[in-house]
Structure 1
Amino acid sequence: MTMLVRELFNDAPLSPDGLVSLDVQRLLREPIDIARDWHRAERLLQQVAEHLPEQLEVQIALYKMYAYANCFEASRQLIEQVLQRAAQQAGFQPDWRLLTPASTPFDTLLTNGIHGPVRLYLYSMKALGFVSLRAGNIALAEQVLAKLLALDPSDEVGGSVVYQMALSLTDDDS
């Protein structure tokens, strides 16, 4: 399946106003086929990262690409890095296991809509659940997705869909 590099940024756009350099725009318009040549997609995303080294969204696009290419360990490692950096930027504990709705700024931020590093953190929790499911670690998927739903009760990042997938897999095993 061929897509454009920019499609990997649909859930986490590089810039809210869409403004990026012409070099980055050119890279984002490159067609890729992750199933047939994920190495090329990886190289293109690394080139974008060279232009935008501080953008967590580039790391998110990379971990999505790895997940699509069934490189689950590489995806998980990048997800962990995004969780660390997003939590640091937002000013809370990076370990999702230790977070509670009362111990984090999520409750306040949810009333104003999720954006910035908080959204990227929650989105990355969802990604960790999804990648864990794909890698066969259903128990971890259920844990991270249950925590995500507690932190994001209005389901701003859509974690409930992946959580239901995890529960259906558990039900199938029963």
Structure 2
Amino acid sequence: MSHVLHGELTMSGPEQALLAGALLGAGLPTDAQRHLELAGEDFQSDAEAEQHLRDAQALAPDHAAVLIGLYRFYFYKGRLQEALRVAETCLAKAARDNGLDADWREVRRSDAEFSSFAAILPRFYLFALKAYAYLRMRLGDLDQGHAAIEKLLELDPSDKVNAGVLNDVWKRIGHDDDD
């Protein structure tokens, strides 16, 4: 059962375990799983693979496995604007699932178990924020990308998701190798 702690919605252990299971594929309808598999098999055919992903999404619109499949498809096909939209959807889902503020700028290190790599839901949030930061930078929104990287490093100071690599890239942007 959900409860309120310090004015914020948190989840009990069983609820978190249930959501973590859903994140890993539990609770995904069989037909949606089949469409994800077919999308993987048809990856070289953009139209067919995307249709399978859309069919999976129609069956399980908010399931992390479907969203991750869509994100990977768009990312690896170089459709970065669409990948960004999916990353934003993942970030919103991860915020809801973790009981976090919808605005990533307002999330604090104490809001979730960001320091534990075993904590699947907070880790999903960190990876969604990292995808968002990376894509913002790739699409030319360097300020927004860097702000998200700084938030990642604040939430995960031990840098389990390797946001420091993105931060290093950000620092080198606009500088020659000779500098």
TM-score, with structure 1 as normaliser: 0.71
| RMSD over aligned Cα atoms | 3.1
Unaligned runs of 5+ in 1: 1-12
Pick one of 97, 100, 106 that aligns with 1:89: 97
Distance 1:56 1:28, change over 3 A: closer
How far apart, in 1, do the equivalents of 2:30 and 2:100 lie? 35
Contact 2:36 2:66 in 1 (8 A): no
- Number of residue-to-residue matches in the alignment: 157
Contact 2:36 2:69 in 1 (8 A): no
1:61-101 per-position Cα deviation (integer Å, ceiling 9, x unaligned): 21232222332222222222221221112111021112232
Structure 2 counterpart of 1:153: 157
Structure 2 counterpart of 1:105: 112
Structure 2 counterpart of 1:169: 173
Distance 1:82 1:21, change over 3 A: closer
1:39-79 per-position Cα deviation (integer Å, ceiling 9, x unaligned): 33221212222343331231122123222233222222222
Percent identity, aligned pairs only? 26
Distance 1:90 1:25, change over 3 A: closer
Give the deviation of 1:144 after TM superposition.
0.8
Distance 1:157 1:32, change over 3 A: farther
Q: Which entry has the higher C-alpha Rg, 1 or 2?
A: 2
Pick one of 18, 29, 44 that aligns with 2:52: 44
Q: Amino acid of the residue matched to residue 101 of structure 1?
A: R
Distance 1:88 1:22, change over 3 A: closer
